Amino acid sequence: MNARNKKLINLFEQKDNNNLNVVDFFCGCGGLSLGFDMAGFNIKAAIDFDADSLNTIAHNNLSENPLNIDLFEPKWMDKFKSSVDIKNIDVIVGGPPCQGFSLTGTRKLSDKRNELYKAMHDLIKVAKPKAFLIENVKGMASLYGGAVRDAVIKDFTELGYTVSSKVVNSKYFGVPQARERLFYIGLIDKDFVFPDPLFTEEELVTCREALDELPSLINLEEISSYRSNPKNQYQQLIRNGAKILKNHQPTRHTEEVINVISQVPEGGNHKDLPSGVGDSRKFNEAWTRYDGNKPSRTIDTGHRNHFHYEHNRVPTVRENCRLQSFPDTFEIKGSKTSQNKQVGNAVPVLLAKVLAEAIYEQIKSR
C-alpha cells in the first residue's frame, strides 16, 4: 500500500472515545460535529435555529442534544442549561454565520450577525472549557483593517485563553475541495500549534477520484444504487459500508441551460463562453466547470454556479457531500434547496477531524 492511501485510511479511521464533551454552535448539518465525533469526542449538544439542519443531526445520531435555540434571544442560555450540564463541557466549537464577514456579503461591521460569536463567548465565560474553535471565511482576518479579528482575539484572551489563528486549506487534509477558512483556536495558557499539511500538491484528492464511480444521472432519475465497485481508496472509504446511495438526485435544467453548460470546457468558466452565450450570469464564479484532475472549487450554498467536470449539470447533493468529505452513510434531510445550503455551509469533515485530533493531543499534553 502506498503512503497516500495509508494517509487516507488514517484520516477516515474512527478514533476511540476520549471522554471529552463538545458543544457545537451554529452546527448546521454537522461538519464540525462529525469531524470531532470521528476523532473520539462526545457531541454533547448541537445548536442551530434551522429545523432541517437539526433534523439532519438527529437522523444521523450525531448529538445527544440537537437544540433549536435562537441565540438572539436574551435568555437563550436558560434553555441551553435545561438540557446540558455546563460543568461537563470540554470544548466549544462553532462557525458563526459569515454573511457579515464575507467578501461577497454586505460587509457591514454593524451587521447584527457579526455579534453571534459573542454567544459562544458568553458560554465559554461560564463553562470554562479546555479549548474552543471558531471557523469563518478567510476575509474575516483582514476585513475592516483587522478590527473583527482583533475583537475576537481580545474577547477570548480576557477569559484566559491563548488564541491562535490561521487560514487553512482543506485540500491539504484529504478533502477533494480547495476551501480556505479561517480558524481561531484557543487553549488555556498555551499556543495551539496548527497541524502541518498532510498531502503534497501531487497527492491531492481530485474531483474525478471522489466522484467518477457515481451514476451519471443522464436519464434524470434519482439513483439509489451503486453501479460499480469503488475505483480507488477515497471512494472505498467515503462509502463507509453504505449499500444505498442517498441524496443523489439530479437537477432538471432547461435545454437552454444545458446548452450553455455544454460549451464550458473542463476547468473553464464564463470567460470561455462565446460572445452572447450565458450573458445573464457572467460574474466571478458563474458557469464554472470543475477540473476533474484537481480538487473542486469551494462548494457554495446556491449550487447553481458550479458544474460537474464531465456531465452537463450541477453536482448532486451527494456529490457535494463527497467533495466536503461526508461519508455516503450520512444523509442530509430537508428539501433539495435546504440540503444544498446545509452542505455548502458545512466545515469539511476530514479537516474538522484533523483539527479535533490536534486539539485533543494538545489538551492531553498540557
Catalytic status, residue 27: no
Sequence-ordered list of residues with C-beta below 8 angstroms from that of 239, at least 6 positions apart, any chain: 226, 230, 327, 328, 329
Interatomic CA distance for residues 116 and 54, integer angstroms: 18
Residues 273, 300: contact at Cβ < 8 Å? no
- Kindly name the residue from 27, 29, 98, 207 that is annotated as catalytic: 98
List the one residue out of 165, 201, 205 whose CA is nearest residue 185.
165
Bridge partners (DSSP) of residue 165 are 184
DSSP, res 280: G
List the one residue out of 278, 280, 276 whose CA is nearest residue 259.
278
Bridge partners (DSSP) of residue 180 are 169
Rounded to 5 degrees, φ, ψ at 161 are -100, 145
Terminal C-alpha separation, the chain:
35
Catalytic residue list: 98
